[in-house]
């Protein structure tokens, strides 16, 4: 089979150089960004070898990652890897090749950058991002995701990646429903807008009827009970990364037909208590 694009370039490369480059990337993003291949493999239902290759491909985009890093460091922030698994996120996009991606929670744009890199590598897809930005007020006491005054959501995303990006500023409570109505189906959803359980429940309920077989749902800062029930309501299993609250599930065959309502299942779960 003839290999094209990223795959061809990958095969012509030097594996030692690639391994070094991956180590450098993790250094740049912080140690918690070390990829968890087995998680990527479980979530996508692919082999560990394929998952590993997909993660490793990120090394072909070190220029963009360095640009993201330079942008954030230029404002004096030392901590910028907000989404804990950016390399895994890139691999999820590579392996599932989504057309419609929706993200809730952008901040400076770390997760957006890696979703857009996956789109670039696939030469397919569009990322719709929603963010209600919080701004830095002074040098202390800010939320870790607060963006510098005068900037905007996703300001640090490298310019060259923005072609396939539809960024909307506002609360997901107001924007998510209309956006989903516009795009019709959802292939990958990434939740990273931590507010409270009700907000998370709202997002899980909003996306449910737009999911189809093979859609991926990724969420950080999850309420595990709500997330597990959301997965179960479409017949999926949620997998969590390194015992963290970052989870993901893949929708099985039959998703999209009217079955159980997440709202009903989730409310039941909450009413049962811990």
Ligand X SMILES: C[S@@+](CC[C@H](N)C(=O)[O-])C[C@H]1O[C@@H](n2cnc3c(N)ncnc32)[C@H](O)[C@@H]1O
Site residues for ligand X per CB under 6 A: 82-83, 104-108, 110-111, 130-134, 145, 171-173, 192-195
Which of 180, 188, 50, 170 has the alpha carbon at shortest distance from 114?
A: 188
Q: Does residue 39 contact residue 88 with C-beta atoms inside 8 Å?
A: yes
Phi first, then psi, for residue 112 (nearest 5°) are -60, -40
Instruction: Please name the residue that has the structure tokens 């990273």.
Output: 192
Sign of CA dihedral 50, 8, 90, 163: negative
Q: Which residue is nearest to ligand X (CB)?
A: 82
If the CB atoms of residues 68 and 266 are measured against ligand X, the closer one turns out to be: 68
Q: Cβ of residue 143: shortest distance to ligand X, in angstroms?
A: 7
If the CB atoms of residues 166 and 173 are measured against ligand X, the closer one turns out to be: 173
If the CB atoms of residues 153 and 255 are measured against ligand X, the closer one turns out to be: 153
If the CB atoms of residues 175 and 270 are measured against ligand X, the closer one turns out to be: 175
Q: Cβ of residue 89: shortest distance to ligand X, in angstroms?
A: 9
Instruction: DSSP letter for 255, please.
Output: B
Q: Show the DSSP H helices in the chain as ranges.
A: 5-11, 15-29, 37-44, 48-56, 62-73, 86-96, 110-122, 172-183, 197-208, 224-233, 262-272
If the CB atoms of residues 134 and 183 are measured against ligand X, the closer one turns out to be: 134
Q: Cβ of residue 220: shortest distance to ligand X, in angstroms?
A: 7
Instruction: DSSP letter for 257, please.
Output: B
Q: Cβ of residue 147: shortest distance to ligand X, in angstroms?
A: 7
If the CB atoms of residues 108 and 215 are measured against ligand X, the closer one turns out to be: 108
Q: Cβ of residue 26: shortest distance to ligand X, in angstroms?
A: 16
Query: If DSSP codes are grouped into helix, strand and coil, which group holds residue 128?
Result: strand
Q: Cβ of residue 268: shortest distance to ligand X, in angstroms?
A: 25
Structure tokens at 92: 């999820």
């Amino acid at each position: 089979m003839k290999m094209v694009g990223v795959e061809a370039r990958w095969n012509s490369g030097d594996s030692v150089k690639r391994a070094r480059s991956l180590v450098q990337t993790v250094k740049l993003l912080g140690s918690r960004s070390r990829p968890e291949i087995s998680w990527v493999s479980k979530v996508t239902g692919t082999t560990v070898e394929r998952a590993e290759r997909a993660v490793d491909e990120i090394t072909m985009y070190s220029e963009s990652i360095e640009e993201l890093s330079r942008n954030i460091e230029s404002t004096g922030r030392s901590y910028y890897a907000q989404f804990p698994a950016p390399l895994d996120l890139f691999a999820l996009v590579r392996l599932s090749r989504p057309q419609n991606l929706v993200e809730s929670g952008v901040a400076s744009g770390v997760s957006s950058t890696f979703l857009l890199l996956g789109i670039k590598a696939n030469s397919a897809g569009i990322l719709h991002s929603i963010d209600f930005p919080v701004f830095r007020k002074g040098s202390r006491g800010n939320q870790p995701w607060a963006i510098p005054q005068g900037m905007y959501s996703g300001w640090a995303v490298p310019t060259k990646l923005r072609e396939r990006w539809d960024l909307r500023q506002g609360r997901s409570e107001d924007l998510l429903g209309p956006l989903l109505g516009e795009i019709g189906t959802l292939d990958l959803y990434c939740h990273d807008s931590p507010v409270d359980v009700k907000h998370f429940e709202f997002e899980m309920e909003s996306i449910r009827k737009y999911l189809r077989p093979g859609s991926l749902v990724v969420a950080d800062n999850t309420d595990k009970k709500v997330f597990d029930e959301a997965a179960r309501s479409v017949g999926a299993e949620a997998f969590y990364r390194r015992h963290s609250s970052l989870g993901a599930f893949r929708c099985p065959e039959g998703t999209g037909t009217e079955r159980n309502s997440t709202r009903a299942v989730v409310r039941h779960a909450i009413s049962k208590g811990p």
